[in-house]
Amino acid sequence: MRSNVSAVDKHPGLRVTHLSYAYAKKTALDNVSFQVDRGSCSILLGPNGAGKSTLFSLVTRLYVASEGTIEVNGKNLRRSTYKALAKLGVVFQQTTLDMDMTVIQNLRYHSALHGLSRKQARIRIEQELLRQRMFDRRHEKIRQLNGGHRRRVEIARALLHQPSVLLLDEPTVGLDIASRQSMVEHIHQLATQDNLAVLWATHLIDEVDDSDQLIVLHQGRVLADGWVTELLHDYNADNVSELFQQLTMLEQAA
C-alpha cells in the first residue's frame, strides 16, 4: 500500500487493530483493522447500518471497545486517553453547534474547552475562519447560516487545536450537489495542506476520489482496504460502484 507519510511522521494518524464491538448479542464490528496515514484522505464506505457510526463512537471514546486497539498518532486510546483524544478533530453527522450563538462565540467556547489562551484562540479562530471563507460571517448566529456554511464552521472548530486526525461522519448530509462537491474538494486540500489523516465516513459512492484510500465496511466487517486505483485493478472493476457490488456479492456468497 502506498503512503503519503513523510519521514518525520513516525506513526500513522490513526491505526485500528482487531476491533470488535457488539450491542448485546448483535455484532456491530467484527475484527476491524486498518490505518490512515498523515496527508491522505481515507473513505470509510458502507451503507447505513454497516458499523461506521459505531466505529466513530469507539474512536472518539463515546463507547469503550472490549476487543482490539485504537491508536491516534501513536497514542493508545485506552492507556493514554487524553493524549490520544487531544489529537482528534471531529465533525459528527448531526450538528453540535449552538444554534443561538454566533459563529465566533461557538469557536471561542470550543477553544476554551481545549485550553487555548485568549490570544491563541483569537489567532486560530481568525486563521480557520479565513481559510473556510467564513470570517465575514463570524458575528452571525448559526441558525442564520445554510447547511454548507454550518459545515464549514464545524470544520473550523474541529481544526482549532491543530489535530493530526480529522474524523468526518457523513459530513455532506443535507447539502446540495454543488455544496457536496465543494466540501469534497476542500477536505482533500486540508489533508494535504495540514498533513492530516482524514477518515471520511459515507454511504455515497460519488464522494470517493480516485486518489483516496478506500475502506469498504459491510455488516461490521472490512471487505477491502486499499487505494482506489489498486482495488479497481485487483477486482477488474470499472468504477467504485461496480467494485462495491462485487465485494458485497462475494460476501453474501461466502
Element (H, E) at 36: strand 26-36
Looking at residue 173, what is its pLDDT?
83
Find where cell 473550523 sits: 156
Question: What is the residue-wise DSSP string for 209-241?
Answer: -TTSEEEEEETTEEEEEEEHHHHHHHTT-SSHH
Give the domain range for residue 24. 7-87+164-254
Are both 149 and 237 inside the same structural domain?
A: no
Query: Residue 254's pLDDT is what?
Result: 57
Q: Tell me the C-alpha distance between 173 and 151, whole Å.
A: 10
**Alpha-carbon radius of gyration of the chain:** 18
Listed in sequence order, the residues at least 6 apart from 186 whose beta carbon sits closer than 8 Å to its beta carbon are: 152, 155
Cα-Cα-Cα-Cα torsion 191, 128, 45, 209, nearest 10 degrees, comes to -50
| Judgement on whether residues 216 and 149 belong to the same structural domain of the protein | no
Same domain, 77 and 104: no
Look at residue 74 and tell me if it is in a domain. Answer: yes
Provide the pLDDT for residue 252.
Answer: 67
Return the closest-CA partner of residue 164 out of 37, 17, 7, 45.
37
Neighbour-count burial of 200, counting CB atoms closer than 10 A to its CB (0-12 exposed, 13-18 middle, 19+ buried): buried
Same domain, 59 and 171: yes
- CA dihedral sign of residues 210, 214, 218, 224: positive
| Residues of the chain below pLDDT 70 | 1-9, 251-254
Pair 114, 62 in one domain: no
Of 134, 162, 190, at which residue does a domain stop?
162
pLDDT digits (tens, 9 = 90+) for 89-128: 999 888 889 999 999 999 999 999 999 999 999 999 999 9
Residue 153 identity (one-letter amino acid)? V
> Do 66 and 191 lie in a common domain?
yes
User: How many angstroms separate the first and last alpha carbons of the chain?
Assistant: 26
What is the value of pTM for the model shown?
Answer: 0.89
Pairing verdict, β 221-227 and 26-36: unpaired
pLDDT in tens, 58-87: 999 999 988 999 999 999 999 999 999 999
Tell me the CATH number at 64: 3.40.50.300
Instruction: Return the closest-CA partner of residue 210 out of 224, 228, 225, 197.
Output: 228
- Same domain, yes or no, for 195 and 82? yes
| Cα 21 to Cα 27: distance, rounded to the nearest angstrom | 6
- In terms of domains, do 134 and 240 share one? no
| Grid cell locating 116 | 487555548
pLDDT, position 92 = 87
> For residue 237, what is its C-alpha cell?
472493476
Residues 150, 218: Cα–Cα separation, whole Å: 30
Number of domains composing the chain: 2
Give a yes or no: residue 30 inside a domain.
yes
Handedness of CA 245, 247, 248, 250 (dihedral sign): positive
Residues 175 and 153 in one domain: no
The reply to whether 250 and 174 lie within a common domain is yes
**Same domain, yes or no, for 81 and 178?**
yes
Please give the pLDDT value at position 4.
45
- What is the side-by-side strand order in the sheet with 26-36? 26-36, 14-23, 67-72, 75-76
Please, how many CA atoms are within 13 Å of residue 177, restricted to the half-sphere of its CB?
A: 1
Q: Look at residue 1 and tell me if it is in a domain.
A: no
User: 73 in a domain, yes or no?
Assistant: yes
> Would you say 99 and 107 are in contact if contact means Cβ atoms under 8 Å apart?
no
What pLDDT is attached to residue 93? Answer: 84
126 falls within a domain? yes
- 135 in a structural domain: yes
- Residue 202 inside a domain? The answer is yes
Q: Are residues 113 and 231 in the same domain?
A: no
- Given 129, 146, 162, the domain boundary residue is 162
Q: Please identify, among 162, 180, 212, the residue that sits at the C-terminal boundary of a domain.
A: 162
